[in-house]
A = this chain, B = another copy of it.
């Protein structure tokens, strides 16, 4: 498990006085790319090598609101990785209130030269990084 931490910005609130719900989707991306960076898988390098990983689906369950200056901790895990697709699970806690703010999932595929591909063929080095971290987490439990 990896934890990504960030503060809610003023510009992320709406006239209801709380964080606009679309921002949690942005935070999921931040947490995801930060997790990948932490295992040495730089999304920027991957894109420079012509591999993209667009979002296939998201679902977000909003549990309790957050607002400007609240500190959010996002626990993120790789739920599943098949080479062709990767699923991330997110648990977003508002440490300023002690409540879970949102629980979410995102699914992603891989694209090389405009074609859907398997990362295990398109980039065995990145594939190995993902399999290694999944194995490592399993071993810990």
Q: Chain A interface (Cβ within 8 Å of chain B)?
A: 9-11, 13-18, 20-23, 25-26, 29-30, 33, 37, 42-44, 47, 52, 54-62, 65, 67-69
Contact = CB atoms under 8 A, between A and B. Distances in A.
A58 B103 CA distance: 11
Contacts of A33: 10, 69
A62 B18 CA distance: 24
Q: Is the interface of A mostly helix, strand, loop or mixed?
A: mixed
A16 B54 contact: yes
Given A10-B14, A14-B15, A57 B68 contact: no
Given A54-B62, A55-B21, A13 B10 contact: no
